């Protein structure tokens, strides 16, 4: 099973074939189901009509014979009534009826006890036909008191002619034989209409048994006949004859359907009843046999009624099964054939995907969906090849640029002092700086140097980022060095740099810059802030604060000839200064929340006791943590300075 | 009239009984064709209880041409079964009988109405009764209850009732009752009148021999009674096997019956053998029931003289 499922999962054509066949099977089954149900109804109806017709014919045949018996008895009764005064003539009449009706077994013309005083208590003229030999006797005697017999009493009590229940005749030895006899009896009345006796004609019902038994519309169907008490008088199981009634089995195993059937037959109704006989579903068609009180029935097993239909159904189902298998095979082959180009394409794609992009797809010459798929894939393959070629070139070009940028980055980084401690020979300067470009090269800059016991330093931020900014930064840094080394004050340095940067500044680039000159002997600091972020100052024992700056000045490079005003701070020794670019306070996390001034002040307060390199390291770590994986949004430059 | 004729036959037969003469031979004739009503005797025969008692018993059933009475009349049987009222009538007619084994402790007589109505409320209706008798109790009851039934005598069977020729019939709860049920009739507490439930509970079947025979063959008669009793006790303990034995007799005589009916009959017969008060199978004639039957029959001129309990039993 697992293998089949695995195969189905792997094979589109198998799945397609299976779906088609499953759907077709479903359609067939529904169609056939409807057809079978309708056929079943039709067959059942046909069977009902057929069985009822057969039963009707049988009953009519039986009825005609019984009518003949009744007519013969009626004629004799007429004669008897006319000759009541001559009792011995009864012997003649009882014999006469047998002579004229050889199929009759016997005839009794019996009278009430002592009706004819001269005849005594018993007078019953009885003729018996034994194989054509007719004997006539007076049958009443103390051991056979006929007037207690059913045949005698029934017409007397019912006051009308009637048939007795069939009974088993006795043979001469007094042992029960099983010749079924029934008597048609009618009352004999005198001229005043008083009942005086009974005329009874006996007829063997073996012919009736044979007639009814012969009714066999289906191979396993059979006929039964029951009497007033439901006793079986015709039944294929001879052990039930006379011994059992239609109700017998219900005494120990109640069966409402059978009981209903029995009562319906007893009421001399015609109809049909479905019930189970010996566990098999059967239909029983029943009809009364004239006015006898007996009922004939045909028992038809349902399996017989539907045998032909069932055979047809089995045949159709077998053909359907074979058809489905054939359809599955053919469908599988067709789908497989139609899917072959797809399989080929799949193989080609596997080869191509293995890296053989130049593998040419063969033209399968189809114009259908598969053909278009082939063409589309071929086009896609070509586009892919082209794209990969372009990618290769672009990647190579990019690699070259990146290489150049790396070189530029190295050059840029080499332009700022990166050796720490910055002044290993001096114990009074604790300075550490860091510059991290957001791209390969950045627009930030810092610089410092000691000249004549003065520390010149600057931190700047060029507008924009990348290569243009880096070039501008390089120029600015060189200008700072040139003017600072000439011993100018910070505002003079700013004025000098501004003049140069402003000239031919077509790109309208500018740079914010904090330029400082710290007297290492006195701790006096001159500075000029050219539009830059105010530095943070941490005086020992106090919280960090932004350095008060009176003159913000304009950034450098905007306009030539603008004046720059410097400021000074008298006592700086022992205080920690942080010069930075806006890559610090404006550092953003993925939600674009900035690091912020408050965080800078808080951190600086906490870090005030640490050496400058650790201060820078902690700040960078805090920024990195704040970014939380976000790419740097700007260059970050930090310079920590403490004069000891 | 008819009844008296039967007595004459019986009288003749009983007088001739000594003619059957073989030391331990007993010919036993139940009063009807083979059925579970006589299961105990079949068991005693088949299981060898009679043989073990040193008896050579022949069970000979009556037939259409040889009724139980006619067999007796022909001096062909030593013992027979009789209902208590029957036996009392015979004794009243001057033939001394001895009840050597009483099997029934209750009356199984019922009146079944065709309509689902109480038979006691259908005054003047046609009621079937057997032409051969067993009618002492129904007659007594109908007279006492002033029902004015029109009695229709018939030989046997249930056809008169089924055809509607009669309105009700006297039946035995173990025989015709179940035949009617088997014929699809719905029998209820309403349309079935049980004599035993209305102060007419009188014992029925017992085994009888003539007192003369008893005097001469006391040992044999006692042995026969004991072995028969043993047969009934075994039947009560082994109803299914008993039924098998009954059915063998039924088949041999080709009786129009079936195992289901015989099973129901056996169950009912065995139930009727249990004394209502003790719940036991007592196998004894109850003096109170003899007294009751005497009272009913004398009231209705069925007996000339009282047949006392002592007249029925072996002294």
pLDDT at A613 > cutoff 50 = yes
What does the pLDDT look like over B288-307, one tens digit per residue?
Answer: 999 999 999 998 888 999 99
- Residue B69 has what pLDDT? 63
Paired strand residues for B127: B151, B168
Q: Name which residue leads in pLDDT, A514 or A21.
A: A514
Any idea what DSSP says for residue B114? S
pLDDT at A174 > cutoff 60 = no
Q: Is A318 helix (H, G, I), strand (E, B) or coil?
A: helix
Identify the residue whose tokens are 């063998």. Answer: B248
Look at A142 and B184 and tell me if their CB atoms are within 8 Å: no
Is there a contact between B37 and B51 (Cβ–Cβ < 8 Å)?
A: no
- Residue A612 has what pLDDT? 92
Look at B184 and A230 and tell me if their CB atoms are within 8 Å: yes
Phi-psi region of A81 (alpha: psi -120 to 50; beta: other; left: phi over 0): alpha
Q: Name which residue leads in pLDDT, A99 or A14.
A: A99
Residues in A touching B164 (Cβ below 8 Å): 158
Q: Is B268 helix (H, G, I), strand (E, B) or coil?
A: helix
In this structure, what token pair is assigned to residue A414? 């080499």
Distance from CA of B199 to the nearest CA of A (A): 30
The crossing angle, in degrees rounded to 10, of helices A12-82 and A307-338 is: 170
Q: Is A126 helix (H, G, I), strand (E, B) or coil?
A: strand
Element (H, E) at A168: strand A167-170
pLDDT at A633 > cutoff 80 = yes
Identify the residue whose tokens are 């006297």. Answer: B170
Identify the residue whose tokens are 């029983």. Answer: A284
In this structure, what token pair is assigned to residue A100? 């004229």
Distance from CA of A294 to the nearest CA of B (A): 11
Provide the residue count of chain B.
315
In this structure, what token pair is assigned to residue B60? 């000979």
In this structure, what token pair is assigned to residue B167? 């309105």
What domains does chain A contain, in order, with CATH numbers?
Answer: 83-204 (3.30.450.20), 347-397 (1.10.8), 416-643 (3.60.40.10)
- Whether residue B146 lies within 8 A of chain A, CB to CB, comes out as no
Of B157, B164, B257, the CB nearest to A150: B157
Alpha carbon distances (Å) from A599 to A369, A438, A543, A626, B60: 64, 21, 13, 10, 131
Three-state SS for A37-52 is: HHHHHHHHHHHHHHHH
Phi, psi of A24 (to 5 degrees): -60, -40
- C-beta atoms surrounding A410 within 10 Å: 12
What is Dmax (Cα atoms) for chain B?
56
Of all residues in chain B, the one with the smallest CA distance to A240 is B258
- Whether residue B5 lies within 8 A of chain A, CB to CB, comes out as yes
C-alpha B265/C-alpha B247 separation (Å) is 12
- Whether residue B131 lies within 8 A of chain A, CB to CB, comes out as yes
Is there a contact between B47 and B235 (Cβ–Cβ < 8 Å)?
A: no
- Residue B13 has what pLDDT? 45
Burial class (CB in 10 A: 0-12, 13-18, 19+), A154: buried
Look at B160 and A154 and tell me if their CB atoms are within 8 Å: yes
pLDDT at A593 > cutoff 60 = yes
Residues in A touching B179 (Cβ below 8 Å): 229
**Band of residue B32 on the pLDDT scale cut at 50, 70, 90:** confident
C-alpha B49/C-alpha A537 separation (Å) is 136
Phi, psi of A314 (to 5 degrees): -60, -45
pTM above the 0.90 mark?
no
Residues in B touching A170 (Cβ below 8 Å): 64-65
Distance from CA of A165 to the nearest CA of B (A): 7
- Residue A61 has what pLDDT? 87
Identify the residue whose tokens are 């400082």. Answer: A516
Look at B70 and A165 and tell me if their CB atoms are within 8 Å: no
Element (H, E) at A640: strand A636-643
Of all residues in chain B, the one with the smallest CA distance to A249 is B260
Identify the residue whose tokens are 């019996």. Answer: A110
Look at B66 and A174 and tell me if their CB atoms are within 8 Å: yes
Task: Compute the Cα dihedral for A629, A631, A633, A637 and give only its sign.
Answer: positive
Is there a contact between B210 and B14 (Cβ–Cβ < 8 Å)?
A: yes
C-alpha B37/C-alpha B205 separation (Å) is 9
**Band of residue A112 on the pLDDT scale cut at 50, 70, 90:** very high
What does the pLDDT look like over A240-266, one tens digit per residue?
Answer: 888 889 999 998 889 999 999 999 999
pLDDT at A175 > cutoff 70 = no
Average pLDDT over residues A93-100: 92
- Whether residue A256 lies within 8 A of chain B, CB to CB, comes out as no
C-alpha A538/C-alpha A606 separation (Å) is 10
Of A153, A175, A248, the CB nearest to B260: A248
- Residue A130 has what pLDDT? 86
The percent of residues in chain A predicted with pLDDT above 70, rounded, is 98
Give the residue from A522, A395, A526 showing the smallest Cα distance to A457.
A526
pLDDT at A221 > cutoff 50 = yes
Strands B56-59 and B25-29: parallel
Of all residues in chain A, the one with the smallest CA distance to B254 is A176
DSSP assignment string, A523-592: --EEEEEESPPPPEEE-TTS--EEPP-S---PPBTSSTT-----EEES--TT-EEEEE-HHHHT-B-TT-
* Pairs across A and B, CB distance < 8 A: 101
In this structure, what token pair is assigned to residue A355? 């890296």
> Helices (H), strands (E): how many in chain A?
16, 22
Phi, psi of B151 (to 5 degrees): -85, 130
Look at A251 and B165 and tell me if their CB atoms are within 8 Å: no
Residues in A touching B160 (Cβ below 8 Å): 150, 153-154, 157
- Whether residue A139 lies within 8 A of chain B, CB to CB, comes out as no
C-alpha A568/C-alpha A204 separation (Å) is 154
pLDDT at A69 > cutoff 50 = yes
Burial class (CB in 10 A: 0-12, 13-18, 19+), A469: buried
Instruction: Quote the strand ranges of A213-279, DSSP E.
Output: 222-226, 232-234, 271-277
Look at B66 and A263 and tell me if their CB atoms are within 8 Å: no
Q: Is A9 helix (H, G, I), strand (E, B) or coil?
A: helix
Chain centroid, CA A85 distance in Å: 96
- C-beta atoms surrounding B143 within 10 Å: 15
What domains does chain B contain, in order, with CATH numbers?
Answer: 2-105+203-312 (3.40.190.10), 109-197 (3.40.190.10)
Residues in A touching B3 (Cβ below 8 Å): none
Give the residue from A567, A561, A568 showing the smallest Cα distance to A495.
A561
Distance from CA of A40 to the nearest CA of B (A): 34
Look at A170 and B64 and tell me if their CB atoms are within 8 Å: yes
Of A145, A162, A229, the CB nearest to B162: A229
pLDDT at A412 > cutoff 90 = no
Give the residue from A426, A369, A472, A429 showing the smallest Cα distance to A572.
A429
Give the residue from A242, A164, A241 showing the smallest Cα distance to A203.
A164
Phi-psi region of A28 (alpha: psi -120 to 50; beta: other; left: phi over 0): alpha
| Contact residues for B315 (Cβ-Cβ < 8 A; gap 6+) | none
**Band of residue A305 on the pLDDT scale cut at 50, 70, 90:** confident
Is there a contact between A300 and A292 (Cβ–Cβ < 8 Å)?
A: no
Is there a contact between A135 and A127 (Cβ–Cβ < 8 Å)?
A: yes
**Band of residue B23 on the pLDDT scale cut at 50, 70, 90:** low
Identify the residue whose tokens are 């014999």. Answer: A95
C-alpha A620/C-alpha A597 separation (Å) is 15
- Whether residue A276 lies within 8 A of chain B, CB to CB, comes out as no
Q: Is A178 helix (H, G, I), strand (E, B) or coil?
A: strand
Mean pLDDT, all residues of chain B: 88
Is there a contact between A642 and A616 (Cβ–Cβ < 8 Å)?
A: no
């Amino acid at each position: 099973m697992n293998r089949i499922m695995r195969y189905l999962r792997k094979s589109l054509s198998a799945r397609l074939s299976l779906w088609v066949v499953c759907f077709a099977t479903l359609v067939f089954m529904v169609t056939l189901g409807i057809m079978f149900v309708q056929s079943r109804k039709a067959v059942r109806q046909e069977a009902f009509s057929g069985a009822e017709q057969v039963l009707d014919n049988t009953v009519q045949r039986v009825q005609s014979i019984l009518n003949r018996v009744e007519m013969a008895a009626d004629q004799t009764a007429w004669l008897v009534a006319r000759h009541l005064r001559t009792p011995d003539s009864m012997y003649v009449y009882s014999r006469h009826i047998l002579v004229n009706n050889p199929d009759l077994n016997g005839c009794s013309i019996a009278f009430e006890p002592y009706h004819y005083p001269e005849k005594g208590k018993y007078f019953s003229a009885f003729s018996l036909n034994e194989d054509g030999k007719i004997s006539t006797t007076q049958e009443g005697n103390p051991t056979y008191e006929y007037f207690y017999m059913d045949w005698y009493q029934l017409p007397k009590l019912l006051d009308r002619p009637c048939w007795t229940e069939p009974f088993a005749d006795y043979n001469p030895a007094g042992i029960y034989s099983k010749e079924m006899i029934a008597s048609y009896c009618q009352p004999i009345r005198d001229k005043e209409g008083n009942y005086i006796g009974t005329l009874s004609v006996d007829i063997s019902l073996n012919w009736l048994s044979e007639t009814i038994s012969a009714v066999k519309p289906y191979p396993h169907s059979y006929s039964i006949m029951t009497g007033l008490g439901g006793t079986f008088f015709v039944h294929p199981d001879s052990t039930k004859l006379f011994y059992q009634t239609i109700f017998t089995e219900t005494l120990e195993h109640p069966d409402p359907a059978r009981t209903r059937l029995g009562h319906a037959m007893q009421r001399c109704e015609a109809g049909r009843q479905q019930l189970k006989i010996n566990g098999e579903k059967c239909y029983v068609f029943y009809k009364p046999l004239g006015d006898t009180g007996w009922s004939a029935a045909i028992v038809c097993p349902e399996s017989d009624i539907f045998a032909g239909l069932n055979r047809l159904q089995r045949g159709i189902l077998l053909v359907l099964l074979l058809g489905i298998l054939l359809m599955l095979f053919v469908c599988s082959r067709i789908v497989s054939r139609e899917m072959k180009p797809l399989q080929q394409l799949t193989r080609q794609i596997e080869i191509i995907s293995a890296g053989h992009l130049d593998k040419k797809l063969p033209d399968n010459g189809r114009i259908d969906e598969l053909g278009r798929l082939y063409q589309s894939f071929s086009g896609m393959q070509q586009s892919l090849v082209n794209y990969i070629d372009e990618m290769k070139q672009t990647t190579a070009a990019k690699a070259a640029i990146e290489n150049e940028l790396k070189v530029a980055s190295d050059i840029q980084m080499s332009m700022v002092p990166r050796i720490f401690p910055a002044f290993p020979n001096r114990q009074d300067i604790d300075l550490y700086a860091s510059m991290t470009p957001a791209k390969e090269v950045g627009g930030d800059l810092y610089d410092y140097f000691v000249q004549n016991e003065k520390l010149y330093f600057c931190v700047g931020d060029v507008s924009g980022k990348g290569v243009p900014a880096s070039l501008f930064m390089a120029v600015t840094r060189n200008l700072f060095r040139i003017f600072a080394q000439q011993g100018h004050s910070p505002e003079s340095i700013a004025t000098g740099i501004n003049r140069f940067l402003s000239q031919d500044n077509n790109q309208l680039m500018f740079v914010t810059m904090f330029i400082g000159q710290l007297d290492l002997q006195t701790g006096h600091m001159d500075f000029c802030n050219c539009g830059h972020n105010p530095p943070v100052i941490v005086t020992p024992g106090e919280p960090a604060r932004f350095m008060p700056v009176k003159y913000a000045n304009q950034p450098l490079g905007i306009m030539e000839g603008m004046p720059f005003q410097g400021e000074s701070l008298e006592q700086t020794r022992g205080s920690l200064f942080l010069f930075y670019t806006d890559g610090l306070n404006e550092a953003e996390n993925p939600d674009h929340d900035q690091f912020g001034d408050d965080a800078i002040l808080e951190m600086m307060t906490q870090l005030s006791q640490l050496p400058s390199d650790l201060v820078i390291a902690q700040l960078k770590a805090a920024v990195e943590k704040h970014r939380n994986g976000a790419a740097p949004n700007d260059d970050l430059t930090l310079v920590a300075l403490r004069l000891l | 009239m008819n009844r008296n004729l039967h007595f004459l036959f019986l009288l003749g037969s009983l007088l001739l009984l000594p003619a059957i003469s073989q030391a331990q031979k007993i010919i036993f004739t139940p009063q009807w064709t083979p059925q579970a009503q006589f299961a105990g005797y079949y068991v005693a025969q088949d299981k060898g209880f009679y043989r073990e008692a040193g008896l050579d018993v022949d069970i000979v059933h009556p037939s259409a041409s040889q009724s139980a009475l006619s067999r007796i009349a022909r001096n062909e049987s030593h013992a027979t079964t009789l209902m208590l009222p029957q036996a009392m009538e015979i004794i009243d007619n001057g033939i001394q009988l001895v009840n050597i084994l009483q099997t029934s402790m209750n009356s199984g007589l019922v009146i079944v109405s065709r309509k689902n109505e109480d038979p006691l409320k259908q005054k003047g209706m046609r009621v079937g009764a057997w032409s051969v008798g067993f009618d002492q109790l129904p007659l007594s009851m109908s007279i006492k209850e002033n029902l004015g039934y029109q009695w229709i005598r018939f030989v046997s069977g249930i056809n008169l009732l089924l055809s509607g020729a009669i309105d009700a019939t006297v039946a035995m709860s173990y025989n015709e009752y179940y035949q009617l049920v088997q014929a699809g009739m719905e029998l209820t507490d309403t349309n079935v009148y049980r004599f035993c439930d209305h102060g007419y509970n009188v014992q029925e079947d017992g085994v009888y021999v003539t007192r003369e025979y008893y005097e001469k063959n006391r040992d044999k008669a006692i042995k026969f009674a004991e072995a028969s009793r043993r047969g009934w006790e075994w039947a009560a303990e082994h109803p299914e096997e008993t039924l098998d034995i009954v059915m063998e007799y039924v088949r041999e005589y080709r009786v129009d019956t079936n195992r289901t009916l015989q099973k129901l009959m056996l169950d009912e017969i065995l139930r009727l053998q249990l004394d209502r008060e003790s719940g036991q199978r007592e196998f004894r004639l109850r003096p109170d029931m003899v007294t009751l039957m005497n009272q009913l029959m004398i009231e209705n001129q069925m007996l000339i003289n009282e047949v006392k309990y002592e007249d029925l039993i072996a002294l």
